[in-house]
Amino acid sequence: MPSAKDIELRVIPSSIANPFVKKHHYSGKIVHNSSLHFGAFLNGRLHGVMSFGPSLDKRKIQGLVNGTPWNGFIELNRMAFDDVLPRNSESRCISVALRMIKKQAPQIKWVISFADGCSCGDGAIYRASGFVLTGIKENANIAVMPDGTKLHKMTLESSPLRPIRALGGKSYFDITGGGGRSWRKFLDAVGGHIQPGYQLRYIRFIDPAYEKRLTVPIIPFSAIDEVGAGMYKGEHVSMAERHLGK
């Protein structure tokens, strides 16, 4: 039986990474500004992809860690694996990817990622990979359209003129006209609603010295159950119940 140590991690182009992400990520979507893609190969076949890139709200994220240069952090914004790889493959691949980033891009001091506790999970892989939890926030940014399509506020606001298929080819600006309270105006106009659940923010320090510069508290993992933010494979379930095998 193969083990996670048998996986070969390679940098791959977006032309290979993106189709895999669209097929295997729960959202079916890529992040368009992803610029670094790792492929997880077993016996020469691609079975997983991790995509990294700059955060969309980069200035706000940068302030989470004092003294971080503009190019000093990166976001893990997509992680998609099929069911072929052995147990612990995701955490193994994250570990190898971060070692490669540290060697080839030493200016990057930390990595941020977000767990979607509305539709997918609460970040068990991040916790197993040495990330710290720095935010649990009730979702206000992921909306569900009448046809079931999910759209993120940040994605719309970062490219307000881009035509959106779920909006019938219209752009965010076409619908809102810009200005204040555009998000609420957008939801009212399209008949969308906020997806219930939580967003969880995780940070992994490649350079341990930067952990001392964190400007927000590290939240104990137990807080996930305390606020009812637990989710696993799209089902709301507490971490305690998972550990008991329920």
- pLDDT of the residue at 180: 62
At 131 the pLDDT is 98
Lowest mean per-residue pLDDT among 72-81, 176-185, 219-228 = 176-185
The pLDDT score that the predictor gives to residue 75 is 98
The side-by-side arrangement of strands in the sheet containing 193-194 is 150-152, 142-144, 193-194
| Average pLDDT score, the chain | 92
Rounded CA-CA distance 150/199 in Å is 14
Give yes or no for residue 116 having a pLDDT over 50. Answer: yes
Across the range 63-71, mean pLDDT stands at 97
Give the integer Cα–Cα distance in Å for 96 and 100.
6
For residue 234, the SS3 value is coil
pLDDT at 213: 98
- The predicted pLDDT at position 239 comes to 80
Tokens representing 120 are 């997918």
Number of helices and strands in the chain (H, E): 9, 12
Compute the average pLDDT of residues 116-143.
Answer: 94
For 25-88, where are the alpha helices, taking DSSP H only? 58-62
Measured CA to CA, the distance from residue 98 to residue 131 in angstroms comes to: 12
pLDDT, position 237: 85
In terms of DSSP H, where are the helices of the chain? Answer: 14-24, 58-62, 89-104, 124-128, 153-158, 172-176, 182-190, 223-226, 239-243
Question: Tens digits of per-residue pLDDT, 7-25?
Answer: 999 999 999 999 999 999 9
Tokens of 40: 């997880």
Q: Give the pTM.
A: 0.88
- Contact (Cβ atoms closer than 8 angstroms) between residue 173 and residue 161: yes
Structural contact between residues 85 and 125, judged by C-beta atoms closer than 8 angstroms: no
Do 126 and 201 form a contact (C-beta atoms < 8 A)? no
For residue 161, give Cα distances in angstroms to 24, 171, 221.
28, 5, 39
pLDDT at 246: 39
Identify which has the larger pLDDT, 177 or 74. 74
Please determine, for residue 45, whether its predicted confidence score (pLDDT) is greater than 60.
Answer: yes
Domains of the chain: 4-138+197-243 (3.40.630.30), 140-195 (no CATH)
28-37 LR contacts (CB < 8 Å, sep 24+): 30/78, 31/77, 31/78, 32/159, 34/77, 34/78, 36/11, 36/74, 36/101, 37/11, 37/12, 37/13
Q: What is the pLDDT of residue 233?
A: 80
Cβ count near 186 (within 10 Å): 20
